[in-house]
Amino acid sequence: GAGVSQSPSNKVTEKGKDVELRCDPISGHTALYWYRQSLGQGLEFLIYFQGNSAPDKSGLPSDRFSAERTGGSVSTLTIQRTQQEDSAVYLCASTSGSSGELFFGEGSRLTVL
Amino acid sequence: EDQVTQSPEALRLQEGESSSLNCSYTVSGLRGLFWYRQDPGKGPEFLFTLYSAGEEKEKERLKATLTKKESFLHITAPKPEDSATYLCAAPGGTSYGKLTFGQGTILTVHP
């Protein structure tokens, strides 16, 4: 497909388990973003990758959260030792350059029991 | 700290009843104001970018305007398919894509 692809679309896990969320950006887009959307918090920036530059991790809420982007394309967001407050929809977006016109995927809904 | 505030939280309109959504912002050195539409279960979809006070952008029944302190999204003669959550956002930092989003306005248009 031509859009941003995220997997899994839904993930239910137990408190304390680790989870990995995957994002396939639009081909050719150099910038990739992760956002989190939860009730009462709206959309929050998590992390940003631009080309080969060091990622901007300023939005990650704790050191349990990490992300990597391999080969300038696919990205994985990892949450270690999940907590109930991590329950949210995790959205990935990509764009060319540093544009604010982001193309979002449909998100991965994470539920931590 | 950058802040983006939207009002109202929810808006119910009859089909054909025009109205406006508001987005006020407190951002140092504003470098643009973005509007997105989000349907249930989907990611946000880009609508407009406004860069300077007085600028206007239009798309179908939607028109976005920008002043020095706020932006408006005007909806003219809305249809039920315009029902969605409308989000505004302002960029912070060095990247235009590192956005501070408002809480959104949930628009419902009844036939």
Contacts of B89 (CB under 8 A, 6+ apart): A43, A100, B4, B33, B34, B35, B36, B99, B100, B101, B102
> For residue B48, what is the nearest residue in chain A, using CA coordinates?
A101
The predicted-structure confidence for B57-71, as pLDDT tens digits, reads as follows 999 999 999 998 899
Question: Taking 70 as the threshold, does the pLDDT of residue A96 lie above it?
Answer: yes
Q: Looking at the complex, does the CB of residue A38 fall below 8 Å from at least one CB of chain B?
A: no
Q: Looking at the complex, does the CB of residue A106 fall below 8 Å from at least one CB of chain B?
A: yes
**Mean pLDDT, rounded, for A60-76:** 94
Question: Taking 60 as the threshold, does the pLDDT of residue B79 lie above it?
Answer: yes
